[in-house]
């Protein structure tokens, strides 16, 4: 294969963009699971809220769905994140005073209800028809360059979220979060409002996930029901974070990159197989990724990049 061919370059760009979008989702999940130990089985819901909000707000008017607001993305993305945050806040307020399993069950419910809304309320979301013509930023540039520029935008956002998450990790807020995650009773005993902290982590994570959804909508330029499919979003993002190393923002990004490379590379390979095998191998792929998740959970629970406690800022090691 000629590695300088435009096809290969485009493949690299799409790989970078997609793993960047997944890195955003992974960083969002890390805020919830890595920081606060909250199990979210409804990543697809917050992803879809972000994707559909920005699609509805930015596309031209259409008889098929509620559109025609024509907002620029700099406005639409924050609104999408805010909406996702509000919904996460409501569900968090109800469930987070209870044991973690209740949140897990409720997030399944949120994912289902959002999926049903998108499917049934066609006046709002175009239902099964899907929303086409979502503008991608930098489309004015020549073909490869606009892909490259969008990849740059995604990566810049990953860098910003990474930087913010690292700051949060080292801050008193992040330390409290770890304390609550490891022993909520001890944290409550020293006077931390456990529920409030958990709600904050859950809401922030959901907002970052919505940004991931928005990026994905503008990247594919089309948004359909497949965006609510739990498999591609919820499951893959969980595998990425667990494999990469939950509790470590670098691990979240690395996990997104590695799992996406495995996922897309095996797709390239299996697409060369004869007809019936293409569908078959896609299930084998899910099965193998599932086994990978189990192996990592059991044998390498810390992931590729293990969690590191934040550095003590004022306390130099040699002074001890």
Partner 1 sequence: MIALSDFINLYLLPGLVVGCIYALGAIGISLLFGILRFAHFAHGDMMTLGAYLAIIFTANFDWSPYAALPITVIGTALVALLLDRAFYKPFRRSAGIVTVIASFGVMLMLRSAIQLIWGVDVKTYDIGIRFPMEFGMLKIAPRQVTIVLVTAALVIALHLFLSRTRLGKAMRAVSDDPDLARVSGINVEQVVRWTWIIGAGLAAAGGVFIGIQTKVHPNMGWDLLLPLFAAAVLGGIGRPYGAVAGGLAIGLCQELATYPWFSEEPFIAPGYKPAVAFSVMVIMLIWRPTGLFRGRAF
Residues across the chain: 320
Interface segment toward partner 1; rule CB under 8 A; list 49-57, 214-222, 263-271, 295-303: 295-303
Residue 99 lies near partner 1 (rule: CB under 8 A):
yes
**CB-based burial, 265-304: b 16+ in 10 Å, e otherwise:** ebeeebeeeeeeeeeebeeebeeebeeebeebeeeeeebb
238 lines the binding site for partner 1 (CB under 8 A): yes
In angstroms, the CA 107 to CA 118 distance is 16
274 binds partner 1 (CB under 8 A): no
C-beta closer to partner 1: residue 90 or 159: 90
For residues 199 and 217, which CB has a smaller minimum distance to partner 1 in the complex? 199
Alpha-carbon span 247 to 241, nearest angstrom: 9
Examine residue 284 and tell whether it contacts partner 1 (CB under 8 A).
yes
Binding marks (x or -) toward partner 1, 183..202, rule CB under 8 A? --------------------
- Alpha-carbon distance of 71 to 79, in angstroms, equals 10
**Shortest Cβ 142–partner 1 spacing (Å):** 41
267 binds partner 1 (CB under 8 A): no
Q: Which of 112, 137, 179, 302 touches partner 1 (CB under 8 A)?
A: 112
Nearer to partner 1 (CB atom), residue 119 or residue 308: 119
Q: In this structure, what token pair is assigned to residue 226? A: 């497949």
Start-to-end CA distance of the chain, whole Å, equals 57
Phi/psi at 115 (5° precision): -60, -45
Residue 129 interacts with partner 1 (CB under 8 A): yes or no: no
User: Under a CB-based contact definition with an 8 Å cutoff, are residues 2 and 221 in contact?
Assistant: no
Comparing CB distances to partner 1, the nearer of 261 and 288 is 288
Distance CA 278, CA 39 (A): 33
> Cα separation of 241 and 303, whole Å?
8
Residues found near partner 1 in the complex (CB under 8 A): 37, 39, 41, 94-95, 98-102, 104-106, 108-110, 112-113, 116, 119-120, 230-231, 235, 238-239, 242, 279-280, 283-284, 286-287, 289-291, 293-294, 297-298, 301
């Amino acid at each position: 294969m000629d590695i300088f061919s435009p096809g290969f370059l485009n493949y690299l760009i799409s790989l970078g963009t997609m793993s960047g979008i997944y890195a955003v989702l992974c960083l969002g999940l890390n805020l919830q699971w890595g920081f606060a130990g909250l199990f979210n089985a409804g990543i697809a819901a917050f992803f879809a809220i972000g994707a559909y909000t920005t699609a509805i707000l930015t596309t031209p008017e259409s008889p098929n769905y509620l559109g025609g607001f024509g907002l620029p993305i700099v406005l639409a993305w924050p609104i999408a994140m805010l909406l996702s945050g509000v919904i996460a806040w409501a569900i968090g307020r109800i469930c987070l005073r209870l044991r973690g399993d209740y949140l897990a069950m409720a997030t399944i419910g949120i994912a289902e209800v959002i999926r049903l809304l998108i499917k049934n309320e066609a006046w709002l979301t175009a239902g099964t028809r899907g929303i086409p013509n979502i503008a991608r930023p930098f489309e004015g540039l020549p073909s490869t360059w606009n892909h490259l520029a969008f990849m740059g935008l995604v990566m810049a956002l990953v860098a910003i979220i990474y930087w913010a998450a690292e700051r949060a990790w080292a801050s008193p807020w992040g330390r409290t979060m770890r304390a609550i995650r490891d022993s909520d009773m001890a944290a409550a005993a020293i006077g931390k409002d456990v529920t409030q902290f958990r709600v904050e982590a859950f809401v922030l994570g959901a907002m970052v996930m919505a940004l991931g959804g928005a990026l994905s909508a503008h990247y594919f330029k089309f948004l359909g029901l497949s965006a609510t499919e739990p498999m591609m979003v919820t499951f893959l993002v969980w595998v990425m974070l667990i494999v990469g190393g939950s509790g470590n923002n670098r691990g979240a990004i690395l996990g997104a990159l590695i799992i996406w490379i495995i996922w897309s590379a095996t797709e390239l390979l299996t697409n060369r197989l004869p007809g019936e095998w293409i569908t078959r191998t896609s299930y084998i792929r899910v099965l193998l990724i599932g086994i990978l998740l189990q192996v990592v959970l059991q044998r390498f629970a810390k992931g590729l990049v293990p969690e590191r406690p934040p550095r003590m800022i004022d306390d130099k090691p040699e002074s001890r």
